[in-house]
């Protein structure tokens, strides 16, 4: 077996991985390389070259893990279900459920060439290309929600009904299981969401759970999504949860995980939140109105996710080098959610 070529922080024994892969993929033909991909805050991700195959490896982070978090088994199940459909995902290759030899379970998927945009303002693109990229986001989300889970083997992927009530309870439990000190805005936003909970309308779809620009891979030359990535938080749920989450950039500032507040959208030829919602609704059948509740819920959930990032920073298991800078955003995102709930000014300075 070829000695692996390693790039970046590889926190496992690559030689042991190679032994396993030889049994799964066959000989490496003199090409075995691993490169850590930066940017992700949850599950460590790596490019993996093996013989003539270009793959991606996803694993759980090392260290303590909250119950239900870092669910790479669910990610792999979704890839397997969606790959035969028109909803774009990478082809699943192999799932390894044992903790050894990497210290955690992992899976492999095919690597797809494309563009990832982490800047919601799309400043690196010509102005005329920015709105079409965002419209592709809305179109892809609508296509995902149009799938019927029971027809693609995901009928038992979550519990239908009372989605927001159960989610608020779940994220509150995760927040309270954290060793972090209490954060008053998160608790206030939780109280508001509990009071503002809309009646359940019975809508059920496959929900991504983290549907944002940075989790989509775009065609190298066209405004078209070629892969939806990072399915860790996916479940059966209400489609407006994803839509509300997708609207988050219009309610956060550039220094708050890259939001759009403060940008002149017209001058930059970026769409408004209303235009994105309108595009999604036009491609969806029988969609209920998007309410302030749905957007505030998205910010609440992300605030709790940032609490988890802060915990991993303290115990040394954070998946990205910039995690320490993101940890303080837990309080700021909760304040943004309260802003939607109570109409407070945009400035948090």
Residues comprising the chain, all counted: 349
Q: Nearest 10 degrees: CA dihedral of 332, 189, 142, 89?
A: 60
Residue 193: pLDDT over 70? yes
Span 165-188, average pLDDT: 92
Q: What is the mean pLDDT of residues 103-132?
A: 96
Look up the CATH number of domain 5-110: 3.30.200.20
Domains of the chain by residue range: 5-110, 127-342
Q: Provide the Cα torsion 132, 88, 260, 253; round to 10°.
A: -170
Q: What is the largest CA-CA distance in the chain?
A: 62
Distance in angstroms (rounded) separating the CA atoms of residues 20 and 14? 10
For β-strands 92-96 and 106-110, DSSP reports them as antiparallel
Residue 346 has pLDDT above 50, yes or no: no
- Which tokens hold the place of 314? 């303290």
Annotation: CATH topology of 127-342: Aminoglycoside 3'-phosphotransferase; Chain: A, domain 2 (3.90.1200)
- Residue 343: per-residue pLDDT: 55
Instruction: Determine the 3-state secondary structure of 48 from DSSP.
Output: strand
What is the C-alpha separation between 92 and 108, in angstroms, rounded? Answer: 6
d(CA 124, CA 133): 12
Instruction: Find where tokens 């060439």 sit.
Output: 113
Q: Lowest-pLDDT range, 10-14, 20-24, 28-32, 162-166?
A: 10-14
Alpha-carbon dihedral of residues 164, 90, 33, 58, nearest 10 degrees?
A: 20
CA neighbours closer than 13 Å in the CB half-sphere of residue 57: 26
Give the pairing of strands 32-37 and 5-7: parallel
The pLDDT tens digits for 289-330 are 999 999 999 999 999 988 888 887 776 655 554 555 667 899
Calculate the average pLDDT of the chain.
Answer: 90
Across the range 319-348, mean pLDDT stands at 73
b/e burial code for range 180-199 (CB count within 10 A of at least 16 → b): beebebbebbbebbeeeeee
Instruction: Say whether 325 sits in a helix, a strand or coil.
Output: helix
Lookup result for tokens 């940890």 = 327
Q: What is the pLDDT of residue 287?
A: 83
Structure confidence at residue 63 as a pLDDT band (50, 70, 90): low
**pLDDT tens-digit map of 217-228:** 999 999 999 999
Per residue in 238-275, pLDDT (tens digit) is 999 999 999 999 999 998 988 999 999 999 999 999 99
What backbone torsions phi and psi does residue 318 show, to the nearest 5 degrees? -60, 140
With a pLDDT cut of 70, the percent of the chain lying above it is: 91
Quick one: pLDDT band at residue 349, thresholds 50, 70, 90?
A: very low
Residue 161 DSSP one-character state: S
Radius of gyration of the chain from Cα atoms?
Answer: 20
Rounded Cα gap, residues 120 and 141, in angstroms: 16
Helix ranges (H only) for the chain are 14-25, 72-82, 127-146, 163-177, 184-196, 239-246, 265-268, 273-282, 292-315, 323-326, 329-342
Distances (CA, A) of 72 to 41, 96, 229, 342: 14, 10, 12, 37
Position 161 confidence tier, pLDDT thresholds 50, 70, 90: confident
Q: List the one residue out of 347, 296, 55, 292 whose CA is nearest residue 186.
A: 296
Q: What pLDDT was estimated at residue 322?
A: 56
pLDDT of residue 29: 93
Q: Is 67 exposed, middle or buried (0-12, 13-18, 19+ CB in 10 A)?
A: exposed
């Amino acid at each position: 077996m070829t000695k692996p070529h390693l790039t970046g922080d590889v926190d496992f024994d690559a030689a042991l991985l190679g032994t396993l892969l030889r049994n799964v993929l066959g000989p490496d033909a003199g090409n075995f390389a691993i490169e850590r991909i930066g940017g992700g805050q949850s599950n460590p991700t790596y490019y993996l070259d093996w013989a003539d195959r270009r793959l991606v490896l996803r694993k759980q982070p090392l260290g303590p893990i909250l119950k239900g978090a870092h669910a790479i088994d669910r990610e792999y199940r979704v890839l397997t279900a969606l790959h035969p459909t028109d909803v774009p995902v990478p082809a699943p290759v192999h799932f390894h459920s044992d903790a050894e030899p990497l210290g955690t379970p992992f899976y492999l998927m095919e690597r797809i060439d494309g563009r990832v945009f982490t800047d919601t303002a799309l400043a690196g693109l010509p102005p005329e290309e920015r709105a079409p990229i965002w419209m592709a986001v809305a179109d892809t989300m609508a296509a995902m929600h149009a799938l019927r889970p029971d027809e693609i083997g995901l009928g038992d992927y979550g519990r239908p009904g009372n989605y927001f009530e159960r989610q608020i309870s779940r994220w509150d439990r995760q927040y309270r299981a954290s060793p972090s000190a209490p954060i008053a805005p998160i608790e206030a936003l939780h109280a508001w969401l509990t009071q503002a909970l809309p009646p359940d309308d019975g809508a059920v779809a496959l929900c991504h759970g983290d549907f944002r620009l940075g989790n989509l891979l775009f065609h190298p030359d066209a405004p078209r999504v070629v892969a939806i990535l990072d399915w860790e938080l996916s479940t059966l749920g209400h489609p407006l949860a994803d839509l509300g989450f997708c609207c988050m950039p219009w309610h956060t500032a550039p220094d708050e995980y890259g939001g759009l507040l403060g940008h002149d959208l017209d001058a930059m030829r970026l769409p408004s939140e209303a235009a994105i919602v309108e595009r999604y609704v036009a491609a969806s059948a029988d969609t209920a109105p998007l309410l302030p509740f749905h957007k505030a819920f998205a910010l609440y959930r992300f605030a709790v996710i940032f609490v988890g990032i802060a915990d991993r920073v303290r115990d040394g298991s954070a998946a990205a080098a910039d995690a320490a800078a993101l940890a303080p955003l837990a309080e700021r995102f909760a304040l943004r959610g309260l802003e939607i709930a109570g109409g407070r000014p945009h400035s948090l300075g």
